[in-house]
Chains A and B, each alone.
Chain A
Amino acid sequence: GGAGAGGGARKVSELVAYKNVTDMQHNSSLTVQVDHRAECVLVPIYGMLVPFHILTIKNASNNADGEHAYIRLNFNYGGSYEPCAKFPRSIFVKELSFRSADTRHAAKVVQEIKALRSAVAQRDKERAERAT
């Protein structure tokens, strides 16, 4: 559950991370990274950085394995996820995992994703409560 729950909350299906491709803010490395301004996570898929809004992400985790770390992103789908009801025939990205040679980066970016996730969810909840 989480995103989309609560009557006055903004609808995840109506979120737009970037109006234009030129609005994308990121560094030049093809690494998992966070754009706080646009409230999204950018992930490298075959050389391209692909944005996912933070409210599409259910949780993020980091597992170190020797000299590598694994960054795992679980996405929202199914039952209480508002876009699922709106687009019942769509296919949803459910999970993405990346291997990083930089264990510090992996730990840091997973913390950033978690922090942004709760900050945005909390703020939306407060806004929705104020609106009612």
Chain B
Amino acid sequence: MAAAGEQLFGNILLGSRSGAAQGSLKASAAGLVWKRSGGGRTVEVPADDIAGLSWSKASRGSVLHVKRAEGHPLSFMGFREKDVEALRSITSRQIADDPLATSGHNWGKLAVDGSSLVFRIGGRAGFAVPLPDVSQAQQGREEVMLEFPLDDTVAGDREDTLVEMSFYVPRDNEDFAAPRSAAAEGKQAEDGEA
């Protein structure tokens, strides 16, 4: 790969369920490589494993969301707003702007996008959870409940970790088909008493 088509972004956090780790991200035509500060973990995303890129301005720096053909989606945080231009010049992929929801509403649309379960609020990005991370899923008549595994070996336990999430899915809702398969492959789909 040519050095000209390569850029290193310092102080980039990689988000996980139990927090975010500091590191640096190298972007090139070959893909993305994130290295944790002080050594340790490296996450490599070859260009042909990138299924989609999107960009959100957050309260502290901007976020690059990476959908992968294989494996979990990733969120790299702490970019400067203008870094998107550098990223756009390096990658041949489109980087779609995807503003974050700030309304504070608890209603929206739930959809499976690749390996993520995405909740959108007023057409904007609310939050996304990687489905491979879900340890158990149950579907009742008007409810979907997801559990996440407890991992005591994960560093950064100082921060709060999502362990359970449930949604109310009214009977009139029509666009929620995919999690039925998630429920089926998790535990048995419960027939909840609503």
Write the residues of chain A forming the contact surface with B, with a CB cutoff of 8 angstroms: 13, 15-24, 26, 28-32, 38, 40, 43-53, 56-57, 70-72, 75-78, 83-84, 87-102, 106
Secondary structure dominating the interface of B: strand
Q: Which residues of chain B (89-135) have a CB below 8 Å from chain A?
A: 99-110, 119, 126-130
Distance, CA A38 to CA B176, complexed state (A) = 31
Count of chain B residues with a beta carbon within 8 Å of a chain A beta carbon? 55
User: Within 8 Å CB of A46, what residues of B?
Assistant: 15-17, 75, 127-130, 162
**Would you call A47 and B15 a contact (CB within 8 A)?**
yes
How many inter-chain residue pairs (CB < 8 Å) link A and B? Answer: 171
Which B residues are within 8 Å of any A CB, using their own CB? 13-17, 19-20, 56-60, 63, 75, 77, 99-110, 119, 126-130, 143, 145, 150, 157-170, 172-176
4 new A-B contacts at CB < 8 Å, known A47-B15, A93-B167: A21-B59, A38-B104, A94-B168, A99-B163
Q: How far is the CA of A86 from the CA of B101 in the complex (A)?
A: 19
Q: When the two chains form their complex, are residues A44 and B107 in contact, meaning their CB atoms are under 8 A apart?
A: no
Inter-chain contact A53/B13, CB cutoff 8 Å = no
Residue contact B107 to A90, C-beta cutoff 8 Å: yes
Binding site secondary structure of chain A: mixed
Q: Could you list some 25 contacts between A and B, CB below 8 A?
A: A15-B105, A20-B102, A21-B58, A46-B75, A48-B77, A50-B126, A50-B127, A51-B102, A52-B105, A53-B104, A56-B106, A57-B106, A78-B168, A83-B107, A89-B172, A91-B109, A91-B119, A92-B106, A92-B107, A92-B167, A92-B168, A93-B166, A95-B165, A98-B161, A106-B160
